[in-house]
């Protein structure tokens, strides 16, 4: 067996999120100033879980592909805006006019495996910059009319972001022209974006096997506290949003149950893919039906025949208490090079099957064997799917 295959298997074995908890005896004087009440519990978390819980800013790299110019609004612009508001009933009139200018030059990751060939194309790109739309526009524009200018960056998933720049308008234009079609470092205040959505572009997937400690305890005022410590029990940070822990447990369930998710994460840890987003949701856009049951139930029903009424009752339970875990990534080699992939794991809470427990006991027991318990409930993998699109 080759070293390459051994490394890929090792990557898969190293993928995990959180362990079970245990009681520990710790001196928390250096961690919490308030008096402690009751026991202290501890569990191990992976580097990936630590990344998702970390509230501190991170630095990412993105490609500069253009700029957005904000102009001082002219009197004619104000008149046009008022006319639109009166005639068409437009309510949201922008405070100023703006123009988005995107480069036509190739940006992003290397095109070829040969480093020399990539450098050759970089030189060609540099020679073409004087003829690029951004260069032409910014060198000819009347800067007296510019109120502000921001760089437009693009990540590997082809998502565009406006980046604030420091200095005068001249400084900002020089910066954009200097770094056009190149990568720059940007600061992200928090990788937890909103409502179950995490930015995982900044995670080093080569450090999956590193572990930390998550401790929890209550103060005498009744407040529940959570802290992340390193392996030597040195404090790293406090987890102030305890709801994030629910996502960590759901991720652990998915990793244990869904080989496709493990495969996708292992691809990134092996350097063959770039991660983008990790998304948790309890809302599914599509529901199952009697004619379209998930694979796990189609397989079980091959040996457990049930009537149409039982199937309808089963379907109704499958459309409740679902949790979706979606992982976005872009393979960087092979035939799927730079296609945006999304791997979706659908976890189902075993509690949703209570209505069929007595009427379909054999089916219930079969599913119960495939479930696992944690602090946020008992789940099993209801479905797994993967799709892609060009980026």
* Total Cβ atoms within 10 A of residue 378: 14
Q: Please report the pLDDT score of residue 225 as a whole number.
A: 94
What integer pLDDT is reported at residue 86 of this predicted model? Answer: 44
Whether the pLDDT of residue 2 is over 70: the answer is no
Question: Burial level of 147, CB count in 10 A (0-12/13-18/19+)?
Answer: middle
Helix (H, G, I), strand (E, B) or coil at 256: helix
pLDDT tens profile 338-360: 789 999 999 999 999 999 999 99
Q: What is the pLDDT of residues 220-231, one digit of tens each?
A: 888 999 999 999
- CA angle 371/12/7 to nearest 5° reads 165
What does the mean pLDDT of the chain come to?
85
- Of 382, 315, 270, the C-alpha closest to 9 is 270
Q: Check pLDDT > 90 for residue 173.
A: yes
pLDDT of residue 33: 82
Q: Contact at 8 Å (CB) between 152 and 102?
A: yes
Confidence of residue 372 (pLDDT cuts 50, 70, 90): very high
34-81 pLDDT, tens digit per residue, is 888 889 999 999 999 999 999 999 999 899 999 999 998 754 444 444
Secondary structure of residue 115 in the 3-state scheme? helix
In this structure, the number of other CB atoms found within 10 A of the CB of residue 45 comes to 24
Give the start-end residues of each E strand in 220-321: 224-229, 235-238, 273-281
- The answer to whether the beta carbons of residues 52 and 302 sit under 8 Å apart is no
pLDDT of residue 161: 87
Question: Per-residue pLDDT for 313 more than 90?
Answer: yes
pLDDT given for residue 349 in this prediction: 96
Query: Could you give the percent of the chain with pLDDT greater than 70?
Result: 83
Reply yes or no on whether the pLDDT at 120 is more than 70. Answer: no
In this structure, what token pair is assigned to residue 138?
Answer: 């910014």
In this predicted structure, the answer to whether residue 84 has a pLDDT above a threshold of 50 is no
pTM of the model: 0.83
pLDDT at residue 5 in the model:
47
pLDDT score, position 210: 82
Query: Rounded distance, CA 279 to CA 200, Å?
Result: 10
Determine how many CB atoms are found less than 10 A away from the CB of residue 281. Answer: 15
Q: State how far the alpha carbon of 364 is from the alpha carbons of 196, 298, 302, 348, 358, in Å.
A: 30, 14, 15, 13, 9
């Amino acid at each position: 067996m080759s070293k390459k295959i051994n490394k890929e298997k090792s990557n898969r074995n190293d993928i995990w999120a959180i362990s079970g908890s245990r009681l520990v005896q710790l001196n928390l004087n250096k961690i919490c100033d308030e008096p402690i009440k009751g026991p202290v519990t501890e569990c191990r978390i992976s580097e990936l879980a630590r990344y998702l819980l970390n509230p501190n800013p991170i630095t990412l790299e993105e490609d500069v592909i253009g700029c957005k110019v904000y102009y001082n609004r002219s009197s004619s612009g104000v008149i046009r805006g008022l006319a639109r508001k009166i005639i068409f009933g437009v309510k949201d009139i922008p405070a100023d006019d703006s123009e988005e200018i995107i480069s036509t030059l190739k940006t992003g990751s290397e095109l070829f495996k040969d480093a020399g060939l990539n450098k050759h194309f970089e030189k060609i790109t540099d020679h073409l910059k004087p003829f690029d739309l951004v260069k032409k526009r910014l060198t000819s524009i009347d800067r007296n009319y510019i109120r502000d200018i921001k760089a437009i960056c693009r990540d590997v998933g082809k998502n565009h972001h406006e980046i604030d720049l420091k200095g005068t308008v001249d400084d900002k234009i020089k910066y954009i022209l200097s770094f056009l079609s190149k990568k720059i470092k940007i600061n992200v205040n928090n990788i937890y974006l909103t409502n179950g959505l995490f930015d995982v572009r900044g995670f080093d997937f080569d450090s999956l096997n590193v572990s930390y400690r998550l401790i929890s305890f209550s103060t005498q005022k009744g407040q529940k506290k959570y802290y992340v410590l390193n392996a030597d029990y040195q404090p790293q940070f406090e987890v102030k949003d305890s709801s994030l822990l629910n996502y960590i447990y759901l991720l652990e369930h998915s990793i244990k149950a869904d080989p496709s998710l493990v495969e996708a994460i292992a691809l990134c840890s092996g350097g063959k893919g770039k991660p983008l987003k990790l998304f948790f949701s309890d809302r599914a856009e599509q529901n199952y039906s009697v004619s379209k049951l998930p694979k796990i139930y189609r397989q079980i029903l091959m040996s457990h025949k049930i009537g149409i009424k039982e199937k309808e009752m089963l379907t109704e339970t499958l459309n409740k208490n679902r949790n979706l875990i979606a992982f976005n990534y872009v393979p960087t080699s092979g035939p799927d090079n730079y296609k945006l992939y999304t791997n979706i794991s659908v976890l189902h809470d075993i509690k949703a099957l209570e209505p069929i427990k007595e009427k379909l006991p054999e089916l219930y027991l079969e599913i119960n064997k495939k479930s696992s318990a944690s602090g946020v409930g008992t789940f099993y993998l209801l479905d797994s799917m993967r799709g892609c699109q060009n980026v």
